[in-house]
Structure 1
Amino acid sequence: MKSLFLTVVSWLTFSQAICLGQQIIRVEWTESPTSEIKKIREFGTFTEVGKLTDSVSLIFKSEGYLEGYFREKNFNDTLRLTWDFGQLFRWENIKPGSVPEEFFASLGKPMLSYKAPYQWIDRVLSYAEDTGYPFAELKIDSLTIRNNLISGVLEYNSGPRITWDSLEIAGGSKTDKRYLQQVTGLIPGQPFSQKDLAKATQTIRKSPYFTVVESPELAFQMRQAKPIFMLQDRRVNVFDGVIGLLPNENELGKVLITGEVDLQLYHLGGKGRDFSLNWQRLNIQSQSLEIKAKESFVFHTPLDVGVGFSLLKQDSSFVNRMFELDFGFRISDKTYLNFFTKRQAGDLISPEDIIPDQALPASIDYRWNQYGIGMDWNTLDSPVSPRRGSRIQGRFSLGNKQILQNTGLPEELYDGLEESSAQYQGWFSGEKHLFVKPTWGMWFRAVGGFLQNQNLFLNELYRVGGLKSLRGFNEKNFFAKSFGYLNLEQRLFFDQNSFLIVFADLGIIENPYNSPKIDRPFSFGTGINLDTDGGLFSFVLAIGKSDIQALSFSYSRIHFGYLARF
């Protein structure tokens, strides 16, 4: 141990007392007897000096200087307190006594420095507390001292074995007890664990459905521990309406009104059961529909099962359909893993209108069965309105694509085209929230995706653009074989969930049916998110530029949004 040499000097100066009107006590000390560097602190009362000497005495004795004490010497009006270390005590021998062998196997044997056995005792009690024995006791008994060497025997009393009882929910939450047991992992009959209780509390705080109002309580009876959680449901159900005002390309000088309806219902029946419906009108002839549902902890297992259906009608060109079956489970509080299978189908609507050049159209009839894996790593501080943290998501899938011959097209157009081939795709998203000051925050997001096959057609490609991706462009404006975009946003908060924004979006898009094939769109703008008692109102003004859109206020996009949580 690094020796410390502490000298406490306090003197009363009548002239200072007269001038300052109060007593000043100066404390000086050095870190070692040979050090010449002094540290100085000033106190106003002797009580504060006493607190310092008491704490220093405890530090020395915890290091093994059990006989140490402060010696007092008076020099005129100065009281000098000097620490006398005395002998350094250490352990000569500690017998295991009644301590179970499993503790030594898991934690090793205690070292023989004076402090080490007490630290080892704390680890043993924590280990016992996490394996069903929260009332365990461990002490060193039968002490003997020879010179400066100490010997003793460890005495252990496990106390009663405690198991988890069924948990209880207070606070009026609609959450089902069985669902909460699955989420927390506090299963009745399993050994009590203080560590698991703390982990369960953190898990609940991150739940998108509810949060903990106060620290959980424990009720012990009949060798069982009943955790009591005070929960409050979050307002996470969503009804979102968006109206877009766009230039009408078919009728010059007029405005085209587009729209979106987003309904999201979460935690139905208090069992983590979710349902969502999204409808969009992209332009006069194009619409899309997405429906999703998820059931958590199916048959009281860690498995979640989800289904999804989507339909996209693009003008009079084609219609796409997709059905998805998803199986997911939680690896940890931060990580969620899922496996899925999809069936995608695309069909031409009016093939007789698109064959004047006797070549295959850009879109085609196809069927694609795929299997994939996804991951979601989430450290956001709030699932609803985060200000700090990160989130990383990714999906990868592959499968066999089959091209179907359309009876409305000549068969010779399909000559040399491989009807069945392997196809794969990937998608990635990463976002970061920074909370710089109480009124200033930043949000960054990077998203990318790719699709790979030797024969790709327009109605298979990704769709990018709009309020939730590249602002300043029509919803799903871009077709992309591969893409990447970056959202940069500065937020000026004037309420908890209300803020002004200034943003810029940068993208790169590859479309083999465009010329040039690589487009680098960008956009910028401003907006406001206003949180009211009735819901969240948003207004965004964005201006974008790409190879097919000039940078002009006449092509600006104005988005009104209203998101009602209930």
Structure 2
Amino acid sequence: MKTFLLAFFLFFIAGGQLCEAQGAYWIKWTTDPVQESADWTSYSNKLEGNQYLDSLQQSLQELGYLSLLLVKEEVSKDSLLMKIVLGEKYSWESISLGNVPKEFSENIDPITSEYSSATRWMRKAISNAENRGFPFAQIKLDSIQRRGNLLSAVFYFDSGPLILWDSLKVAGETKTQESYLQNTTGIRPGTPFSQKQLDAATLALTRSPYFVQTQAPQVEFQIQQAQPTFTLRDRNTNVLDGVIGLLPNQNEPGKMLITGQLDLELYHLGGKGRDVALHWKRLNIATQSLEISAKESFLFNSPIDVSVGFSLLKQDSTFLNRFLSLDFGYHISQMSYLRFFTRRQSSDVLNTEDFDELTELPEVADYRWNQYGIGWSWDGRDSPFFTRRGFLITGEFALGNKRILENTGFPAEVYDNLDLKSPQYLGKLEIEKHVYIRPTWGMWLKGSGGFTQNQNLLLNDLFRLGGLKSIRGFNENYFFAKSYGYLNMEQRLFFGENSFLMVFADFGILENPYFATSIDKPISFGAGINLDTGSGIFRFIYGVGKSNLQPLQFSYSRIHFGYLARF
């Protein structure tokens, strides 16, 4: 019985392979004189094989073999032996531009004696016409003359009607307004039709964080107008994220401290690219932070984006920082974004009881800092959400005058011989790289750096680092830094579009002038999971780190988990 089953299985496999082989069509060809050849190649059927031969014949004719001859010999029903007699090779002696308008012949490489150069020239001229409002333009060779294997001709050009853009349409399951899409694509009614502009618009919409295109754009031509229709489906981009963290309670050794975080982000409100966000964190018993922001895209249908923001950081009972910002952004290209901003930064000391006997300015003080700056970003990622390849660069630089306020809780002599007004500046840069190795394996790398400088630099001036979004394995905002640089590295094992297991390692170097050892070199490592549930993302990350102030012990490990709901 076993022998019978084995024989049947082998017969089944052999029969399947035989059937597959019977459906194939084999072709072998060579040129005469011999220049190129191809050994026996299999095609799924005879029709596919003939289509390949047609494309081969066309490519040889474009090289100048206009009188080539195909000699076919059927070896069997499923095999064809082809000999291609090339014949004489033709080239151009001269070509006149004829009636081709000058604006359509600009920036095109000149025609050479090579026969295919004329074809390339005509395709480029047609492309120029399509991008200047003439999508039905035609060009052909006229008055062709032959002298031996040398040819001469004249171009004849027919532009067809001038086509202008009509108002665009939006279709599909989307709330996106036509005005927003018009500003995003740059397609304006009354301007000349451009195939290049349509292709660029398609690419820009593909990269949008708000929606996806469910089909290629459709263009309807009527009465010398072109009306594009874009079919979209909104993404689930809105975010409701709650995270719980378990940390050692430094005030009560041996006990754990539960911290909290709330992220609420609403995108594309009203279908106009209007965004609002709220972020709240409780870092420990007495430390909290709050960030509120809002963005209006294409203000009054201009190319300018405007955003405002407010943030607050209460550092236990030491100081309270407040930031108020106003940004103006401009899309230089699909990938490049430029912005100008101004910020008002305020800081106040909360408890002055420990400063009664000071003779010089302490590490914290009240101040006001008005900043003016410029920022730039370059987004070369393949997707804003499910990135596999590409990179992202963001940077900014700001400067302005900082004014130190005299606090009545400090002795008056701490302000003697102190320049209360002085220039201060800062800069930040981030580079993010996604490496695609195979469908289930990728890497994520991120390098970040920054600095701030002032002759009266204070502790409450410094950058705050540490935690889930910077150097993992430490409490949120654990580090103070005058200047910093750190590298995040992740190996990701994907088992879904946005689900993956990961291991990470972070390396940093920080400078804090108020610590005895001003240079700190923290490191951390760990593992985690990012699970896409369809309606949201569940995250669990475990990390442990080492720095000047934290030993490398698992009792100092950090656990962060939460569910990020998208709707």
TM-score by length of 2: 0.89
Letter in 1 for 2:88: Q
Q: What does the per-residue CA deviation read over 1:222-266, in whole Å, with 9 as the maximum and x for residues that have no partner?
A: 111110001011111111111111111111222111111111111
Give the aligned partner of residue 275 of structure 1: 276
Q: What does the per-residue CA deviation read over 1:118-168, in whole Å, with 9 as the maximum and x for residues that have no partner?
A: 221111111111110001111112333343333333221111100111110
* Distance of 2:343 and 2:379 partners within structure 1: 25
Give the aligned partner of residue 563 of structure 1: 564
* Distance of 2:93 and 2:560 partners within structure 1: 77
Give the drift of 1:49.
Answer: 8.9
Equivalent residues of 1:355, 1:361 under 8 A apart: no
Q: What does the per-residue CA deviation read over 1:8-44, in whole Å, with 9 as the maximum and x for residues that have no partner?
A: xxxxxxxxxxxx99999895758976x8x98644679
Equivalent residues of 2:328, 2:339 under 8 A apart: yes
Q: What does the per-residue CA deviation read over 1:33-59, in whole Å, with 9 as the maximum and x for residues that have no partner?
A: 6x8x98644679999997777665544
Give the aligned partner of residue 248 of structure 1: 249
Q: What does the per-residue CA deviation read over 1:316-337, in whole Å, with 9 as the maximum and x for residues that have no partner?
A: 1111111111010111111111
Matched, 1:64 2:69: no
Over 3 Å counting, the alpha-carbon distance change for 1:380 and 1:51 in structure 2 is closer
* Distance of 1:43 and 1:195 partners within structure 2: 38
Give the drift of 1:534.
Answer: 3.8
Give the drift of 1:441.
Answer: 1.8
Equivalent residues of 2:167, 2:227 under 8 A apart: yes
Equivalent residues of 2:310, 2:325 under 8 A apart: yes
What SS does the corresponding residue of 1:346 show, helix, strand or coil? strand
Over 3 Å counting, the alpha-carbon distance change for 1:536 and 1:406 in structure 2 is same
Identity %: 54
* Distance of 2:24 and 2:256 partners within structure 1: 81
Letter in 2 for 1:440: W
Give the drift of 1:367.
Answer: 0.9
Equivalent residues of 1:279, 1:290 under 8 A apart: yes
Superposition pairs of residues 193-212 of structure 1, within 5 angstroms? 193-212=194-213
* Distance of 1:419 and 1:42 partners within structure 2: 82
Give the aligned partner of residue 524 of structure 1: 525
* Distance of 1:47 and 1:508 partners within structure 2: 65
Equivalent residues of 2:29, 2:83 under 8 A apart: no
Give the aligned partner of residue 551 of structure 2: 550
Equivalent residues of 2:491, 2:504 under 8 A apart: yes
Q: What does the per-residue CA deviation read over 1:391-450, in whole Å, with 9 as the maximum and x for residues that have no partner?
A: 111111111111111111111111222111111101111111122222222111111110
What SS does the corresponding residue of 2:105 show, helix, strand or coil? helix
Equivalent residues of 2:213, 2:232 under 8 A apart: yes
What SS does the corresponding residue of 2:457 show, helix, strand or coil? coil
* Distance of 2:348 and 2:267 partners within structure 1: 33
Name structure 2 gaps, 5 residues minimum.
1-20, 74-79
Give the drift of 1:62.
Answer: 2.6
Over 3 Å counting, the alpha-carbon distance change for 1:119 and 1:370 in structure 2 is same
Over 3 Å counting, the alpha-carbon distance change for 1:51 and 1:159 in structure 2 is closer
What SS does the corresponding residue of 1:115 show, helix, strand or coil? helix
Over 3 Å counting, the alpha-carbon distance change for 1:216 and 1:459 in structure 2 is same
Letter in 2 for 1:97: G
TM-score by length of 1: 0.89
Equivalent residues of 2:509, 2:522 under 8 A apart: yes
Give the drift of 1:90.
Answer: 2.9
Q: What does the per-residue CA deviation read over 1:101-124, in whole Å, with 9 as the maximum and x for residues that have no partner?
A: 333344365334322222211111
What SS does the corresponding residue of 1:207 show, helix, strand or coil? coil
Over 3 Å counting, the alpha-carbon distance change for 1:437 and 1:353 in structure 2 is same
Letter in 2 for 1:64: G
My pick for the range that moved more, 201-210 or 344-353, is 344-353
Over 3 Å counting, the alpha-carbon distance change for 1:402 and 1:267 in structure 2 is same
Give the aligned partner of residue 9 of structure 1: none
How many residues in Structure 1 have an aligned counterpart in Structure 2?
Answer: 541
What SS does the corresponding residue of 1:551 show, helix, strand or coil? coil
Equivalent residues of 2:164, 2:189 under 8 A apart: yes
Equivalent residues of 2:289, 2:312 under 8 A apart: yes
Over 3 Å counting, the alpha-carbon distance change for 1:168 and 1:411 in structure 2 is same
* Distance of 2:130 and 2:405 partners within structure 1: 64
* Distance of 2:292 and 2:88 partners within structure 1: 77
Superposition pairs of residues 26-175 of structure 1, within 5 angstroms? 27=28, 29=30, 40-41=39-40, 57-69=57-69, 84-107=85-108, 110-175=111-176
Over 3 Å counting, the alpha-carbon distance change for 1:399 and 1:143 in structure 2 is same
Superposition pairs of residues 216-255 of structure 1, within 5 angstroms? 216-255=217-256
Equivalent residues of 2:25, 2:46 under 8 A apart: no
What SS does the corresponding residue of 1:260 show, helix, strand or coil? strand
Over 3 Å counting, the alpha-carbon distance change for 1:127 and 1:486 in structure 2 is same
Give the aligned partner of residue 384 of structure 1: 385
What SS does the corresponding residue of 2:173 show, helix, strand or coil? coil
Equivalent residues of 2:382, 2:388 under 8 A apart: yes
Letter in 2 for 1:275: V
Give the drift of 1:274.
Answer: 0.7
Matched, 1:509 2:513: no
Q: What does the per-residue CA deviation read over 1:537-559, in whole Å, with 9 as the maximum and x for residues that have no partner?
A: 11111111111111112111111
Name structure 1 gaps, 5 residues minimum.
1-19, 74-78
* Distance of 2:217 and 2:46 partners within structure 1: 42
